[in-house]
Structure 1
Amino acid sequence: MDLTFATADAAAIPLHVVAQDALDAFCDAQPDKVARWLRATGFTGALGSVALVPDDAGGIAMALAGDGTPETRARGRFHLAGAAALLPEGTYALHGLAPERATTESLGWLLSQYSFDHYREQKHTTARLVAPEGVDAARIEAIAAGEALTRDLINVPASDMGPADLEGACATLATRHGASIEVIRGEALLEQNFPMIHTVGRASAQAPRLIDMRWGESGPTLTLVGKGVCFDTGGLNLKPATGMGLMKKDMGGAATVLGLAQMIMALGLPLRLRVLVPAVENSVAGNAFRPGDILTARNGLSVEINNTDAEGRLVLADALAFAAEEDPDLMVSMATLTGAARVAVGPDLSPYYTDDAALAGLLDAAAEQAADPVWRMPFHTPYESMIEPGIADLDNAPKGGFAGSITAALFLRRFAGQGRYAHFDIYGWNPAAAPARPKGGTGMGARALLEALPGALAL
C-alpha cells in the first residue's frame, strides 16, 4: 500500500477526464482512428466509466475517465477514484481538470490505494498517479497518510487496540514527529484528579489512562481531544449483541484527532498542538460503575449516572476540563458519541457544534473545499434543563429520547471553559464501500478542520 504520487515519467499514460456533454468535442479533436475506437467501444463519458485506447504496439496510448454530468457528480465525491480502481496497473498523468478539482480527485486517488491488510492481504488500486501540475503534492500526501492512520486505528479490533495499544500508537506518532508525550495511568488518575476517566475504565483488564501529546514551539494554541473508548460493552447497562458488533470503532474520535495531528505535524503548521486522549475500555466486572452512582468531575461538577452506556461524555469531560485550564486559542473534541447523530444525518456527514458563528462559517466553507462534508448542529441552550437531574449538577443520560446528540454536546460544553470550542459527533465508519472510502473505519471532519485552521486560529 503506497499512498504517494508516482514519480513523473515520460512514459506515463495520459488520462483524460471527459464529461458526457464534452465527449463529442473530445473525439473531434483526436485522430480519426481514436475517435472511431471510442465510438465503437460505446464509451459515453458516464461517471466512473473507463476507456482504454491502444497504441500501434499493443500498449495503451491513452485512457479516458468518464466525468458524467453535473447531476451525477453532485451525488458523490472522489469520482476519479472509482475510475482508478478500474484501470490496469501503470502510471497515469491526469488531463482535463482545473487545479482545485484536480486536488480533490488526486486525494481520492491516493485514498483509493488504502487497504487494511493487517491480518490478510487485500486488493487495492494498483494504478499510480503522477501529481498533476498545480497541486500541492506534499500536502495531499500528508492528508492521505493522516487518513490512513485513522482508518488503521479504527479497523484494528480491541484485541490489538486496547488502551495500552492506543498509547503505543500515540507514542509512535510522537516519536515520528518529535512531539513529547506524557501518560497518566491507573490509580494515578485519581491522585491527579481525573475521577471520571478512572471510573469508566477501572473494570477493564487494561488500566485507564490519559494520553497527553504536545508538539510545536510557537504560534497559536490548538488542543484536540479525542474519545478513546477502545471497546464499549455498555458497562452494566450491557449492549445487546447487535449494538456491540462495531464497538471497536468507539475510539474513532481518538483515531481521527491522531490522524489530524499527523497531518498538522507532517505539514509543519505554525502552531502549538496538544492532543489529549482519554483511553479506556468500558467493561463489566465487580468494580464497574453503576446506574445511579454520582461522580464528581475534575472541574467539581457532580454527575448522576443514569446509563453506564453513556460513558464517552464522562471521559471527555475530565479531559476537556483539563484542556480548558490552559485556555487554548481553539479546542476541538471529536467522538463517536451518540446514535442520535446518526439518525439525524446518517453516516456520511460530520455533525458539529460551536457557539462561534465565524468558526462555523470557516468550517462549512472548508468542508466543501476538502470534500469532507460537515453539518452544524445547535447548542440549543433551552435544552440545558434536560441534562440537570436535580440531585446532581448533571445527568449523563437524560430520559425521553429527544435531542440525544444535542444534550450530549451541551453536557460537554459544561467542561470546555469559555474559549473557542467545537465538538464533532462523528460516526467513524463507512457501512458500504464508496470511491476512495472502503467499508470500515474512516476519518470524518479532520480534512475540513485542517483546511479551516489558518482562519480559525486567526479569529
Structure 2
Amino acid sequence: MTLFFAPASDPSLPLHVLAQSDLEGWLADQPDPVQSWIAADGFSGALGQALLIPSLDGTPSCALAGYGTTAIRARKRFPLAAAADSLPKGTYHIASGVPVEALEAECFGWLMTGYAFDRYAAQSPASAALIAPEGVNAARIEIMANAEALTRDLVNTPASDMGPEQLQRAAETLAQEYGAGCSVISGEALLDQGFPMIHAVGRAAEQAPRLIEMNWGSSGPKLTLVGKGVCFDTGGLNLKPGASMGLMKKDMGGAANVLGLARMIMALDMKLQLRVLIPAVENAVAGNAFRPGDILTARNGLTVEINNTDAEGRLVLADALALAHEGAPDLLISMATLTGAARVALGPDLAPFYTDDDIAADALARAGQAAADPVWRLPFHNPYEAMIEPGIADLDNAPAGGFAGSITAALFLRRFAADSRYLHFDIYSWQRSKEPGHSKGGLGQGPRALLTALPEILDL
C-alpha cells in the first residue's frame, strides 16, 4: 500500500472546511439554493460531517467538511480526517477553513485515512483523494505517511508471520530499498560475540534469537536507534494470563517504530550516520527457558538478577544499548513497548520519554505538538536508583513493590547507555479503537516528533 496525494493537475472539487461557529457567516454569502440544500441536509459544521453541493446541472460544485468546535478539535489529533472518512470517492482541494499551522498535520491525517491492514482480509479504507495544499512539503508528508504505514503493518502482523526471522527480513528489505548495510548475529553466535542476555531471553523459542543491525550514511552526526523486537511475549516462566497475552504480537512495537523512523530519515536523505539495532526474540516457554532467580551477565559486565521473566524487554535492550554505546553515538535513542506502568501514568495515547538532556527534551515537546505526535517527559529520578539494586547482583530486572515501574525500567536501561546522550521512549504502539486518521491496531508513537526535533537536537 502506498499513500500519496493526488496530482495537482487532476480535476478536483473545492473543499470548504467549516467550523460550527463559521457556518452562519459562510452561508450568508451563498445563493438561496445552496442555503436551502444545506438546511435540508442538516449540515451544521459538526466534526466529521461531509456534504456535496450540487450546481444547477446537478453535478457537484464543491464540498463541505465539518470542523466542529475548538473544544471538540482539541480532543482529536486529526479532526479533518473525520470528514475525509465521510466524503464520497473523488479528488478534493482545500479551498478554505484549515489554519496554516495545522495544514501539515491535517494532510498527514487525511493520507492515513487511506491506510488499511488487508493482508488477511479485504478492507475498505477511505477513498477521498486530496491535492496537497500550497505551502506544505507534500513529499515529506508522503514519506511520513508511508513510514507510519510500515510501522502499523509490522505491529499488526501476528507472531505466526512476524517472528524474529520475518522481522529480520523486514529490516533487510528496508535496507535494500535505501542502499543501507544490514547484518545479523543469530543463535549461539550471540554468546560468542558478547550478547548473553539477548540469547538468554530468546533461546527457548523455535526461531533463534538475533541482533539485527542496519547502517546508512557516511557523514554527519552519529544517530543510533535501538528498538525492542520481542515478537511475542508469553511472559516466559512467569507466564502471562490469557487476557494479558492477547496483544503481545505488538511487543515488537519498538522495533517497528525505529524502522519507521529509519525509513523517514533515509527517504529524506538526512545528513547523518544512522545505525539501527534490533534485538529480535520470542520470549517462549521450554525446558531451556531462563528462570526467576537466575543471574545473567550483560555485554558490559553488569550482573542482573532475574526476578520476573516477564520483564524481558529491558534485558534484550541492555545488550543492544551496550553495543550502541561502544560506537560513541552523538545521540542514542531506544524505543520499546516496555511497561504497563507507563500506560497507568499516561494512558495509551501519550508516549513518555526520558532524557537527562533539557535541550533535547524541549525540542521534542515542541516537535510533538507541531507534528500531532504527542510525547511527555518523565524523569530519570536518581533517588530511585536504589530500587534496581538487589544486592545479590548489580541490577534487578523487576523491582518488588510495583512503584514507579516505568521510571525504574528507564533507569535500568540508562546503566547500559552509560554516558551517551540518551533518549528512551516507553510506548504503547497500539490504537484501541478507530479514530480520525487512526485505524484500530498498530500505531507509530514518537517517530514524527523525533523527525521534527532531530535538526535542532543534532544541529543538522
TM-score by length of 1: 0.98
- Asked if 1:113 corresponds to 2:117, the answer is no
CA distance, structure 2, for counterparts of residue 359 and residue 32 of structure 1: 55
Post-superposition offset of 1:56: 2.6
Tell me which stretches of 4 or more aligned residues in structure 1 moved more than 3 Å: none
- Asked if 1:78 corresponds to 2:62, the answer is no
- Asked if 1:178 corresponds to 2:179, the answer is yes
Letter of the aligned partner of 1:147 in structure 2? Answer: E
Q: Which residue does 1:145 correspond to in 2?
A: 146
Letter of the aligned partner of 1:454 in structure 2? Answer: P
CA distance, structure 1, for counterparts of residue 316 and residue 38 of structure 2: 59
Q: Which residue does 1:42 correspond to in 2?
A: 42
Post-superposition offset of 1:11: 2.4
- Asked if 1:401 corresponds to 2:402, the answer is yes
Letter of the aligned partner of 1:91 in structure 2? Answer: T
Post-superposition offset of 1:32: 2.9
Post-superposition CA distance 1:11-46 (Å, at most 9, x none): 201111111111122112223322232233221111
Provide the secondary structure at the position in 1 that maps to 2:51: strand
CA distance, structure 2, for counterparts of residue 85 and residue 70 of structure 1: 20
Post-superposition offset of 1:99: 3.3
Q: Which residue does 1:339 correspond to in 2?
A: 340
**Is 2:2–2:146's contact at 8 Å kept on the other side of the alignment?**
no
Q: Which residue does 2:438 correspond to in 1?
A: 437
- Asked if 1:416 corresponds to 2:417, the answer is yes
Post-superposition CA distance 1:343-392 (Å, at most 9, x none): 11111000110011111000000000000011110100000000000010
CA distance, structure 1, for counterparts of residue 451 and residue 428 of structure 2: 19
Q: Which residue does 2:275 correspond to in 1?
A: 274
Post-superposition CA distance 1:235-256 (Å, at most 9, x none): 1111110111100000000000
**Is 1:349–1:375's contact at 8 Å kept on the other side of the alignment?**
yes
Post-superposition CA distance 1:185-206 (Å, at most 9, x none): 0111000000000010000100
Of all paired residues, the percent bearing the same amino acid is 66
Q: Which residue does 1:317 correspond to in 2?
A: 318
CA distance, structure 2, for counterparts of residue 368 and residue 210 of structure 1: 33
Q: Which residue does 1:28 correspond to in 2?
A: 28
Q: Which residue does 1:55 correspond to in 2?
A: 55
CA distance, structure 1, for counterparts of residue 459 and residue 297 of structure 2: 35
Q: Which residue does 2:87 correspond to in 1?
A: 87
**Is 1:195–1:297's contact at 8 Å kept on the other side of the alignment?**
yes
CA distance, structure 2, for counterparts of residue 11 and residue 165 of structure 1: 42
CA distance, structure 2, for counterparts of residue 357 and residue 64 of structure 1: 44
Post-superposition offset of 1:10: 5.5
CA distance, structure 2, for counterparts of residue 433 and residue 67 of structure 1: 18
Letter of the aligned partner of 1:56 in structure 2? Answer: L
Letter of the aligned partner of 1:405 in structure 2? Answer: S
- 1:361-380 correspondence to structure 2 within 5 Å: 361-380=362-381
**Is 1:387–1:397's contact at 8 Å kept on the other side of the alignment?**
yes
Q: Which residue does 1:12 correspond to in 2?
A: 12
Provide the secondary structure at the position in 2 that maps to 1:414: helix
CA distance, structure 2, for counterparts of residue 165 and residue 40 of structure 1: 54
CA distance, structure 2, for counterparts of residue 325 and residue 83 of structure 1: 49
Give the count of matched residue pairs. Answer: 459
- Asked if 1:327 corresponds to 2:324, the answer is no
Post-superposition CA distance 1:34-67 (Å, at most 9, x none): 2232233221111221122112332221111111
Post-superposition offset of 1:456: 0.7
Letter of the aligned partner of 1:363 in structure 2? Answer: L
- Asked if 1:133 corresponds to 2:134, the answer is yes
Q: Which residue does 1:213 correspond to in 2?
A: 214
Indicate the RMSD between aligned Cα atoms, in angstroms.
Answer: 1.0
Post-superposition offset of 1:415: 0.2
CA distance, structure 2, for counterparts of residue 132 and residue 2 of structure 1: 19
Letter of the aligned partner of 1:8 in structure 2? Answer: A
**Is 1:153–1:161's contact at 8 Å kept on the other side of the alignment?**
yes
Letter of the aligned partner of 1:38 in structure 2? Answer: I
Post-superposition CA distance 1:130-175 (Å, at most 9, x none): 1111110000000001000000000000000000000000000000
Provide the secondary structure at the position in 2 that maps to 1:347: coil
TM-score by length of 2: 0.98
- Asked if 1:3 corresponds to 2:3, the answer is yes
Bigger mean CA offset, 57-66 vs 237-246: 57-66
| Structure 1 gap segments, 5+ residues each | none
Provide the secondary structure at the position in 2 that maps to 1:104: helix
Provide the secondary structure at the position in 1 that maps to 2:45: coil
Post-superposition CA distance 1:246-291 (Å, at most 9, x none): 0000000000000011111111111111100000000011110000
| Structure 2 gap segments, 5+ residues each | none
**Is 1:99–1:135's contact at 8 Å kept on the other side of the alignment?**
no
Post-superposition offset of 1:326: 1.1
Q: Which residue does 1:286 correspond to in 2?
A: 287
**Is 1:99–1:133's contact at 8 Å kept on the other side of the alignment?**
no
Post-superposition offset of 1:68: 1.4
Bigger mean CA offset, 308-317 vs 415-424: 415-424
Post-superposition offset of 1:409: 0.3
Q: Which residue does 1:223 correspond to in 2?
A: 224
Post-superposition offset of 1:125: 0.5
